[in-house]
Structure 1
Amino acid sequence: MLQKKIRVKPVVSLLATGLLVLNTAISFAATSELSLDESITLALQNNPSIKMALADKDKAFWGIKETEGGNMPTVSLGSSGNRSGAEGAASNDSFNTSLKVNWPLYTGGRVEGLVDQAKSNANIASVGVEKVKEQVRLDTTTAYFSVLQNNNLIKVNQETVNSLTEHLKNVKAQYEVGTIAKSDVLRSEVELANAQQNLTKAQNAYDVSVASFNNIIGMPLDSQNTMKDDLAYVQYETSLEDSIQMALQKRPEIIQSQDTINAAKAGMKVADSGKMPTVAVNGTQGWSGSDFPGDKSNWSVGVSASWNVFDAGVTNSKIKQAKAAMDKVNEGDRQTRTGVELEVRQAYSSMKEAEARIETSKVAVGKATEDLKASQAKYYAGVGTNLDVIDAQMSLTQADTNSIQALYDYNVNKAKLEKAVGIGVE
């Protein structure tokens, strides 16, 4: 019995240690510190939109291989068997087997045009992966800053609640000694209740932003992460004109638009091929007879050519369609370039507007803080009013909120500008 007990203790100790390590690992996994760059990396790894874009890229690549096969020889093997007979006579078996080879030598440029189209479509799909990645980067950045913004707003509203709670204590103390009216107590209680509601709303907004952030980066929605970065001001150095020029060179939409034009040009080549002759080499090796696959051999090798002299205007109609498609993509390219420039200008303007608000909001916070202290000092000295203190507190809360909003707007619009410029495009 003593030996059994001695053996059990190490096992229990080992299990307890294992559970402790497991719980620690789970706690560590549930809560982690994430920088913005780390968050973007997670999103790029886990986002399903990127995986779908990669699948489209693979599909387009195999589309090239499919069209390239139009210039390669094809081999087909066929066989047939028949049994026939009449009443009172023996049945007869016959088999025919053939091996055929066909190799297009010239298709009037049709296959070459289809290959060029497939390559352009593959380029569009490849650039589409970068386009999706850029959107994921922006979505992650916006979600990251949204969490920071709402976390800071919780702090502002909590400070307001704390300040009004302390103020209410002082108001009640003065009311008890008869120096102020009951209305001051009631008004202070109402303002405190309103501040507590705003704090609750801020907490809810934070929880929603955290769930949205986790969804984007591919983590469980209830994960609680500590953000390493904070809302900060980092100046954007590139001018508007340089930003526009960079966007017109790097934006995936611009590159895709050019590939669309190339595909339309190839489509015109395919349509024109209907006016040209086609040439092919073909050969056949056959066997026939009463025994499978056949005991008599025959073969043939030849060159075939065809030229559609009159097709009732079908080819001409296809050429007209291809030209109309070319005109459309040219207009689309101009529209895309104008849209990209407009997007850059809008993001740049919004960023600059938020940048100007950052400094003014800092000044407002400083002035509002001084005003609150002065109002509180006057009220507690008996020469000010309760309304002055409450108004000063609300002004400080609004100034703090405006400061946080300005930083958030600046960083988000800066991220939109970088996406519009194509800074992250590889």
Structure 2
Amino acid sequence: MKGYSKIIILGIGWVVFGLSSEAQKKPLNLEETRNLALEFNKSLKISALQKVEAEAQRKEAFTNYLPSIDGNGSASLIPTLDNIELPGFQLPTGPEEGAAASDAYFPGIALQTENLSILQAGVTAQQAIYAGGQVRLGNKMAKTGVEISEQAYQLQEAQVILNTDEAYWQLAAMNETVKLAEKYVQMLDSLEDQLNDMYELRLIPKSEKLRVTVQKNEAELNLLKARNGYRIMQMNLCRIIGLPLNTQIDITEEVNPNPTLPNMSDSKEKALAGRQELKILDGQAQISDYQKKMVNAEFLPQLGAQVAYQYNQYGDLYQDGMVTLGASLSIPIFHWGEKKHRKSAAQARIQQAQLNLHDTQELVQLEVQQVMIQLQEEYESILWAQKNKQEAQESLEETQASYDVGLNTTTDLLNAQASWQNAYSKEIEALTNFQVLKTRYQKALGLL
């Protein structure tokens, strides 16, 4: 009874484990997988923060159009200062030295300066009237920086989508490979059972039966490798979309057995207009041009104005408030060729940015051409693989029928089965590669 109890407990445990494993399966289509990856990706989050930073810098640059208002204040205490007393005396009759004393008498004065406190406070408003265009150029550069950060975010987003699609379709392909391997093992298992019966009836030699057994063992090993590969690819997709690595993902989409080529007319022109890398480089070239203009602006006259109010209080002795108005003008006169050298450096940066842009444009056109060729080749590979699969299926059916009536050998049947599996495998590979290439083509055009 104890033995039966253990068996029952173990059986219940396996059932519960199976149910929990089934409950953990997460069905995902391609769109959901992309969204999870975009939400989780850390590089994309960094790029989003860079967008926030660029927007804050743009707002900061705009504040230079507005007046700046600053306040100041101070408080002092002089604890060692004594009261100041001046004694009385007869005022002289004149300012010259040795003048006789007059009848006027100065009674003296006593100032309460002991523990004297001094309070000072003020507020100043300054406004740049003319800065040679530096404020305007600074705002243009900040605005271009925002546009660059947006393109950088879109570029990172496109890369995340491409990586996700690759992982998704690789998992889908491996899932089909596992199914194909299971079907192949079942096919060999059925043939092995048939040959076992024939061997027991002494209709075939043992070597004939063992030939099938060896083939089945190899197929079972390949099935094990396919299942392990599926698990690894499943973990890789979980890593990309931010799920625990032990999550069981159920791919809900399958490769399309009847794909169509996208319309690839004007692909290079679309790429030149849509690629984020080119927009980033174009923005950097604009910033380099603004920097050169900024050098000119720094060497133009600078005019500003200010309004200030200052309040002073010296204990109980004295207090006052005063408003002042002012203007300042700065005119660069001679700086030992600094402007010329800085303009030369700025011009060199402009040329570098333009050369980099032109070089990248050529690389983009080359990349688009390569992807177009790969798409066309993979499409032809699909047609070839499907034709080959159909012929392999017909060959297998004919070989099986001939084998059943004794016209073909076991080796012929095994070869036909292996060709059938290989043909199906080639079709799965071609269809999967085509799906990934379609995403890569969209990325090459800047459409993701």
Q: Check whether the contact 2:118–2:314 (CA below 8 A) recurs between aligned residues.
A: yes
CA distance in 2 between counterparts of 1:87 and 1:360 reads 105
Deviation at residue 121 of structure 1 after TM alignment: 0.7
CA distance in 2, matches of 1:321, 1:84: 55
Give per-residue Cα distances to partners, 1:40-62, cap 9 Å, x unaligned. Answer: 33333443433332221111011
Counterpart Cα distance in 2 of 1:274 and 1:29: 68
AA in 2 matched with 1:237: P
List aligned pairs for 1:90-109, cutoff 5 A: 90-109=114-133
Counterpart amino acid of 1:246? K
Deviation, 1:320, is: 1.7
The Cα of 1:336 is off from its aligned counterpart by: 2.1
Larger mean CA deviation between 166-175 and 115-124 belongs to: 166-175
- CA drift of 1:64 comes to 0.7
Shift of 1:259: 1.6
Q: Which residue number corresponds to residue 52 of structure 2? A: 58
Q: Partner residue of 2:307?
A: 283
Match of 1:68 among 62, 65, 85: 62
- Aligned residue-pair number: 399
Q: How does 1:47-196 map onto structure 2 within 5 Å? A: 47-84=41-78, 90-196=114-220
Q: Find the residue that maps to 1:219 and give its secondary structure.
A: coil
In structure 1, the partner of 2:229 is 205
CA contact (8 A) 2:261 2:375 kept: no
Question: Structure 2: which amino acid aligns with 1:395?
Answer: S
Q: Partner of 1:94: helix, strand, or coil?
A: strand
Of 409, 414, 432, which aligns to 1:408?
Answer: 432
Shift of residue 382, structure 1, vs aligned partner? 3.9
Shift of 1:34: 3.0
What aligned pairs does 1:269-308 form with structure 2 within 5 A after superposition? 269-291=293-315, 295-308=319-332
Corresponding residue number in structure 1 for 2:111: none
Letter in 1 for 2:41: N
Assess if the C-alpha contact under 8 Å between 2:116 and 2:315 holds in 1: no
Question: Aligned residue for 1:14?
Answer: none
Relative distance call for 1:294 and 1:417 in structure 2 (3 A) is farther
Normalized against structure 2, the TM-score is what?
0.82
The code of the aligned residue for 1:153 comes to T
Instruction: After TM superposition, list the pairs within 5 Å mapping 1:9-20 onto structure 2.
Output: none
- 1:36 aligned to which of 30, 43, 52: 30
Moved more, 327-336 or 128-137: 128-137
How far 1:359 moved relative to its partner? 1.2
Of 262, 265, 279, the match for 2:289 = 265
**Cα deviation, residue 283, structure 1:** 2.3
Deviation for aligned residue 1:316 = 2.6
Distance 2:284 2:188 in 1: 62
1:3 aligns to what?
none
User: Partner of 1:10 in structure 2?
Assistant: none
* Larger displacement relative to structure 2 (242-251 or 41-50): 41-50
Structure 2 residue 409 is the aligned partner of structure 1 residue 356: no
Q: Say whether the 8 Å CA contact 1:277–1:307 is kept in structure 2.
A: yes
Question: How far apart are 1:304 and its partner, in Å?
Answer: 0.3
CA change 1:52–1:81 in 2 (3 A) is same
**AA matched with 2:268:** I
By percentage of residues, which structure has more helix? 1
Which residue of structure 2 lines up, in the alignment, with residue 21 of structure 1? Answer: none
8 A Cα contact 1:96 1:294, kept in partner: no
Q: Distance in 2 between matches of 1:227 and 1:178?
A: 48
Structure-1 separation of matches of 2:216 and 2:55? 64
Contact kept, 8 Å, 1:368 with 1:392, in 2: the verdict is yes
Query: What secondary structure, in the 3-state scheme, does the structure 2 residue paired with 1:384 have?
Result: coil
Aligned to 1:398: 422
Match of 1:254 in 2: 278
User: 1:117, 1:264 within 8 Å by CA — same for their partners in 2?
Assistant: no
1:17 aligns to what? none
Q: In 2, distance between residues paired with 1:390 and 1:28?
A: 36
Compared with structure 1, are the counterparts of its residues 382 and 236 closer, same or farther at alpha carbon in structure 2 (3 Å cutoff)?
Answer: closer
> Are 1:42 and 1:218, in contact at CA under 8 Å, matched by a contact in 2?
yes
Q: Is the 8 A contact 2:58 2:142 kept in 1?
A: yes
Distance 1:166 1:87, change over 3 A: closer
Match of 1:386 in 2: 410
Corresponding residue of 2:5: none
1:341 to 347, 356, 365: 365
Quote the sequence identity (%): 25
Alpha-carbon displacement from aligned partner over 1:353-382 (angstroms, at most 9, x marks no partner): 110011111121122223333334444444
Task: Please give the alpha-carbon distance, in whole angstroms, between the structure 1 residues aligned to 2:34 and 2:77.
Answer: 71
Amino acid at match of 1:315: K
State yes or no: 1:236 paired with 2:261. yes
SS at the partner of 2:122?
strand
Contact 1:102 1:283 survives alignment (8 Å):
yes
The residue type paired with residue 71 of structure 1 is Y
Using the TM superposition, name which of 295-304 and 115-124 deviates more: 295-304
- Post-superposition Cα deviations, 1:102-151, rounded to whole Å, max 9, x if no partner, equal 11111112222221111101011122222222222222222221121011
Distance 1:223 1:292 in 2: 79
Amino acid aligned to 2:285 = I
Preserved CA contact (<8 Å) 1:95 1:293: no
